[in-house]
Amino acid sequence: MRYDAGMAEPIVTPFGATVYLAAEGYDAELLDELGRGATPLVKGGRLFVLPGPPRPAAWAANVWLDPVRIRFETPGDAARLLGGMGKSWAPMPVTLFRRTALLAQRVPFTAGRPLAFPSPPPPPCGAWTLVAQDTLVASARCTSPFPNGAVHFVEDHTNPPSRAYLKLWEALTLAGRRPVPGARCVDLGSSPGGWTWALERLGARVLSVDKAALDPRLAKLTRIKFRQESAFGVDPSTVGKVDWVVSDIIAYPERIVGLVERWLAAHPTASFVVTIKFQAKTEMAPLAALSAVPGSRLVHLFHNKHELTWMRIPANPE
């Protein structure tokens, strides 16, 4: 690939490994999850390399599925090559920040504009990073359609009782499914009602459960029925047919896993979106039972903190 007389064409070679971008602030969790053999792509950065094909990685904000190494002579060469590999790209700078910024001006760029919910995710974008003055690593295919896994929404600053609704919006956007009008939903541990608000806005009927009171504005809505009791005390078999079970409870992972198992047994065709929060230490062992549920996955959402989200959303619910 030659663009100027006398100039060597860029050299593209398979990278021979998968590249994982750690969720910001959770490098240690990702490294522990990936296990032995995982190494930083560049010292001090959030990108980690592991030989072999991609594997599930809950603490990864994005996974580069087909990374290649590109040697080039000028930024123009690199930009033209990336433009030929994909329509949109997101830079992930880990070193050489000034040179990365200069190259980013030439590469087709995905800006990551705020998404109006409910809307489908943007078209997939690739990711790249400079590892040396004349070398970059890039992947045209990634697991996240959002630039470096960063999801931004057009927020409602007036009506929701908390910003927690952004986690549910993100999970539903990534899943490509959401409750339809009239769907029967249960929100366990709902107070003050961020997730209940988001479900009701979609036209769903919501059984909202918490020992603490629901925001008074939500209690007046006819599609919401509120039970002021512990989410752990509700018998799943007594609530009738359920299409969706969601939960953002603050509790130890073991208790959340037990709660999910009870509701899953009673409502095996329901869709689930459940936050699992950690205390000072990240204990992944209790989550093994949930990870083994067919069709489910654990993810660290962009709007998660020291927590993961477990999702089991059947493609063709009964």
Residue 186 has pLDDT above 60, yes or no: yes
pLDDT confidence of residue 1: 35
The predicted model scores a pTM of 0.92
Looking at the predicted structure, is the pLDDT value of residue 226 above 50? yes
| CATH superfamily for domain 165-312 | Vaccinia Virus protein VP39 (3.40.50.150)
Mean pLDDT computed over every residue of the chain: 93
Mean pLDDT for 51-57 is: 94
- Whether 2 has a pLDDT exceeding 80, the answer reads no
Exposure string over 120-159, b if 16+ CB within 10 A, otherwise e: eebebbbbbbbbeebebbbbbbbbbbbbbbebebeeeeee
Average pLDDT in the 1-23 region?
Answer: 76
Domain borders along the chain are 11-149, 165-312
* Listed range (18-22, 106-110, 130-134, 203-207) with the worst mean pLDDT: 106-110
Longest C-alpha distance within the chain, in Å?
Answer: 77
Provide the pLDDT for residue 280.
Answer: 85
Residue 163 near residue 222 (C-beta atoms within 8 A) = no
**Comparing 248 with 9, which gets the higher pLDDT?**
248
pLDDT confidence of residue 220: 85
Determine how β-strand 244-247 pairs with β-strand 184-188.
parallel
**What pLDDT does residue 207 have?**
97
The pLDDT value given to residue 10: 84
Q: Which pLDDT does position 304 carry in this prediction?
A: 97
pLDDT per residue as tens digits for the range 236-280: 999 999 999 999 999 999 999 999 999 999 999 999 999 999 988
Sequence-distant (≥ 6) Cβ neighbours of residue 316 within 8 angstroms: none
pLDDT at 8: 67
Q: Are 10 and 77 in contact (CB under 8 A)?
A: yes
Q: How far apart are CA 19 and CA 65, in angstroms?
A: 7
pLDDT category of residue 316 using cuts at 50, 70 and 90 = low
pLDDT value of position 305: 96
Q: Which residue has the tokens 């290649």?
A: 68
Instruction: Judge whether 103 and 68 are in contact, CB under 8 Å.
Output: no
Q: Is the dihedral of CA 237, 241, 244, 248 positive or negative?
A: negative
Q: What pLDDT, on a 0 to 100 scale, did the predictor assign at position 87?
A: 87
What tokens were used for 281? 């230490």
Q: Which of 254, 206, 198 is nearest to 226 (CA)?
A: 206
Q: Are 151 and 117 in contact (CB under 8 A)?
A: no
User: Who contacts 206 (Cβ-Cβ below 8 Å, separation ≥6)?
Assistant: 185, 186, 187, 196, 199, 200, 223, 224, 225
CA pair distance 224, 196, nearest whole angstrom: 8
Q: Indicate if the pLDDT at residue 311 is higher than 50.
A: yes
